[in-house]
Amino acid sequence: MTASISDQLLTWYDQHARDLPWRLAPGAALPEDPAWPYRVWLSEVMLQQTTVAAVKPYFAKFTETWPTVEALAAAPEDAIMAAWAGLGYYSRARNLVKCAKAVAERGGFPSTEAELRALPGLGDYTAAAIAAIAFGERAVVVDANVERVVARLFAIAEPLPGARKAIRAAADTITPQQRAGDFAQAMMDLGAQICTSRAPRCLICPLSGPCAGRKAGEPERLPVKPAKKAVPERRGTAFWITRGSEVWLVTRPGTGMLGGMRALPDDGWSAREDGSGEVPLAGEWRELGAVRHGFTHASLTLRVIALETADAPEGEGQWWPVERIAEAGLATLFLKAAQLALASD
């Protein structure tokens, strides 16, 4: 059964693999180019909780601007954070910088799963994926797509997250010694294209024969997920402070929500509490409206108010040309606020 599953899946992958800019063709030999593991690592970090469609232009921009891990490690951190703007989950960008520096210092990426796991920001999944895809090491690669495929294939009915140990053990039994990277990517593609969360396409699935979930008649109920917790609603205020044709921007602290990103000043809201509502300068503030934004742990309604002034607020920041606000690398939330302010002028 073990050989049958991996062989069937790889045969399907050879014919149906997605053509992605960070992938080799199925069965291709691993390149000796040291930039290859860099491209695999970069794509895997970007793809965490993010769609392929969203990642493609960012991957192209990063690899064109910084074609090697050494180039990325030497780049100014604010330039990297600005280039990441809009991709979300900004702790990934901060970890990207730390990891690039660590890899450059050691002279390249390690090739084993254990060594990769020791790098900054690399968890079990990412380390296993890089080991398998970039270096051909047999590794058990389990992301959300693979988790779904394996839970259905073996009819693992224990609810998540408790089921993850059993899912990983089952995935281990079908992971082949050869073509480890192709197998990992085949599982990802199967989950993304065939064994989808809703309405799985069982009739064209290469693993429909041995799939215990399909035989049970309700594959779409697996994996069993815990009830979603309601996210809190938060409120805050962003300040559009202008001086003629310039707007005052700040850089957020390196840790916390949107850490290290360029932003509009705000009143200190967080996922845990509302903002204070206090304004940073005295003057005649104008109400511009509000924008909504969803985070993993909270939803935010951000009020936007504006002030024209000759004075800079206290604290670090910079005057930025309003006409070039799209180039500032604002996080999506603050880009929404800026667009609201520009539309109100």
Mean pLDDT of 196-221: 94
Structure tokens at 225: 């997920």
User: Would you say domain 233-344 falls under CATH 3.30.530.20?
Assistant: no
- What amino acid positions are annotated as catalytic residues? 44
The DSSP 8-state label assigned to residue 206 in this structure reads: T
Alpha-carbon gap, residue 222 to 199, rounded angstroms: 12
Q: What is the pLDDT of residue 168?
A: 96
Task: Determine what percent of the chain is predicted with pLDDT higher than 90.
Answer: 80
Q: What would the pLDDT profile of 305-321 be if each residue is shown by its tens digit?
A: 999 998 889 889 999 99
Q: What is the pLDDT of residue 1?
A: 43
Is the overall model pTM greater than 0.75, yes or no?
yes
- The secondary structure of the chain in percent helix, strand, coil, rounded to multiples of 5, reads 45, 15, 45
Q: What is the pLDDT of residue 162?
A: 93
Q: What would the pLDDT profile of 239-272 be if each residue is shown by its tens digit?
A: 999 999 999 999 988 777 888 888 999 999 998 9
Alpha-carbon gap, residue 276 to 76, rounded angstroms: 33
Q: What is the pLDDT of residue 296?
A: 82
Task: Pick the range with the lowest mean pLDDT from 36-40, 105-109, 257-261.
Answer: 257-261
For residue 130, give every residue at least 6 positions away whose Cβ sits within 8 Å of its Cβ, in sequence order, or none: 37, 40, 41, 44, 109, 116, 122
Task: Determine what percent of the chain is predicted with pLDDT higher than 70.
Answer: 99
Q: If you count them, how many residues does the chain have?
A: 345
CATH architecture of the domain covering 2-221: Orthogonal Bundle (1.10)
Question: 234 - beta bridge partners?
Answer: 300
Structure tokens at 34: 């040291």
Task: Pick the range with the lowest mean pLDDT from 99-113, 128-142, 163-177, 271-285.
Answer: 271-285
Alpha-carbon gap, residue 88 to 334, rounded angstroms: 12
Mean pLDDT of 80-87: 90
Q: How far is CA 315 from the centre of its chain?
A: 31
Domain map of the chain by residue range? 2-221, 233-344
Report in angstroms the alpha-carbon separations of 128 from 31, 64, 184, 185, 258.
19, 26, 9, 12, 27
Mean pLDDT of 213-221: 92
Alpha-carbon gap, residue 206 to 153, rounded angstroms: 11
Mean pLDDT of 102-111: 96
